[in-house]
A = this chain, B = another copy of it.
Amino acid sequence: MPEPIVFGFPQSTYVRTVRLTCVEKGIPYSLEPLGFSSDRLADLHPFGRIPAFRHGDVSLYETTAICRYIDAAFAGPPLLPPGAGGQARTEQWISVINAYVDPPVIRDIVVERLTRPLQGQPVDEAKCTAAIPRAAHALGVIDTALTGQAFLGGDGVSLADFFLLPIIYYFRQLPEGIEMLPRLPHLEFWYERMRNRPSFAATAPPPPGER
- Give residues in A with beta carbon < 8 Å to B: 46-47, 58, 60-66, 68-69, 72-73, 84-85, 87-89, 91-92, 95-96, 99-100, 137-138, 141
Contacts of A69 in B (CB 8 A): 84-85, 87-88, 91
B47–A100 touching, CB < 8 Å = yes
B47–A68 touching, CB < 8 Å = no
- Kindly state the separation between the CA atoms of A95 and B65 in the bound complex, as whole angstroms: 8
Using known A-B contacts A62-B99, A100-B47, A141-B46, determine if residue A84 contacts B73 with beta carbons closer than 8 Å: yes
Contacts of A85 in B (CB 8 A): 58, 69, 73
- Kindly state the separation between the CA atoms of A96 and B60 in the bound complex, as whole angstroms: 11
A176 to chain B, nearest CB (A): 20
Q: Which residue of chain B has the shortest Cβ distance to A46 in the bound complex?
A: B141
- Kindly state the separation between the CA atoms of A87 and B87 in the bound complex, as whole angstroms: 15
A146 to chain B, nearest CB (A): 14
In-complex Cβ contact of A60 among B65, B89, B137 (8 A): B89
- Kindly state the separation between the CA atoms of A84 and B80 in the bound complex, as whole angstroms: 14
A154 to chain B, nearest CB (A): 14
A67 to chain B, nearest CB (A): 9
In-complex Cβ contact of A88 among B47, B58, B95, B99 (8 A): B58
In-complex Cβ contact of A91 among B46, B47, B62, B138 (8 A): B62
- Kindly state the separation between the CA atoms of A15 and B18 in the bound complex, as whole angstroms: 30
| 15 further A-B pairs in the complex, CB-CB below 8 A; given A62-B92, A68-B91, A73-B84 | A46-B137, A47-B100, A47-B137, A60-B89, A60-B92, A62-B91, A62-B95, A62-B96, A62-B99, A63-B95, A64-B64, A65-B92, A68-B87, A69-B88, A72-B84
A-B contact pairs, 21 of them (CB 8 A): A46-B137, A46-B141, A47-B99, A47-B138, A58-B85, A60-B88, A60-B89, A60-B92, A61-B92, A62-B92, A62-B96, A62-B99, A64-B64, A64-B91, A65-B89, A65-B92, A68-B91, A72-B87, A72-B88, A73-B84, A73-B88
